[in-house]
């Protein structure tokens, strides 16, 4: 695997259909997303100001969306750090494998929607920061 960079993780505009007074954002595996969607999960009831995440994945690809409310997506590639403010349901960030991510400053009532390329697999996680630094330096 090529060493990932936070510069590859951009805020992407997602399709938005205005329909009968509301908006719809449809997402298709292999379409807007460069992977087939195997799992969807969402994070909610996070206390205002709380943080989540704090890990990297070896193979998992994800698209992260602030479906409601806001939070900061803090990305690190072993060298550079980048913070993206997420607060629009029609924007998403594609996260490549090997990026350390933390979700910070949740607004109360916010919902973080995650579309993932694979099923949940604990062995795909790198949860220890020092392990991550060693892992990323070997790429
Ligand atoms: P984790 O991905 O560490 O959450 P966060 O990044 O928000 O801190 O997941 C927290 C726990 O939830 C983990 O111990 C296992 C469980 N979990 C599943 O069982 N399936 C899933 O798809 C996810 C994302 C988590």
Write the CATH number for 98.
2.60.120.10
Determine the pLDDT at residue 67: 98
Domain count, the chain: 1
Torsion angles phi and psi, residue 137, rounded to 5: -70, -20
Determine the pLDDT at residue 30: 87
Question: Does residue 85 fall inside a structural domain?
Answer: yes
Q: What is the mean pLDDT of residues 112-132?
A: 98
Determine the pLDDT at residue 94: 96
Question: Does residue 114 fall inside a structural domain?
Answer: yes
In the set 7, 28, 55, 57, the catalytic residue is 55
Enumerate residues lining ligand 1, CB below 6 A: 39, 41, 43, 52-53, 120
Range of the domain at 90: 6-137
Question: Does residue 113 fall inside a structural domain?
Answer: yes
Determine the pLDDT at residue 31: 83
Q: Check whether 34 has a pLDDT greater than 90.
A: no
Let me know if 7 is a catalytic residue: no
Q: Check whether 1 has a pLDDT greater than 90.
A: no
Question: Does residue 124 fall inside a structural domain?
Answer: yes
Q: Are 139 and 81 in contact (CB under 8 A)?
A: no
Question: Does residue 1 fall inside a structural domain?
Answer: no
């Amino acid at each position: 695997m090529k060493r990932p960079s936070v510069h590859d993780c951009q805020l992407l505009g997602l399709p938005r259909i205005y329909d009968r007074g509301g908006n719809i954002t449809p997402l298709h595996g292999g379409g807007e997303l460069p992977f087939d969607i195997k799992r969807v999960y969402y994070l909610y009831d996070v206390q205002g100001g709380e943080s989540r995440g704090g890990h990297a994945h070896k193979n998992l690809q994800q698209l992260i969306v602030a479906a409601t409310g806001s939070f900061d997506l803090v990305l690190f590639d072993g060298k550079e750090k980048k913070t993206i403010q997420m607060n629009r349901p029609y924007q998403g960030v594609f996260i490549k494998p090997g990026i350390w991510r933390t979700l910070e400053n949740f607004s109360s009532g916010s919902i973080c929607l995650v579309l993932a390329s694979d099923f949940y697999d604990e062995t795909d996680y790198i949860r220890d920061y020092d392990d991550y630094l060693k892992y990323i330096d070997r790429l």
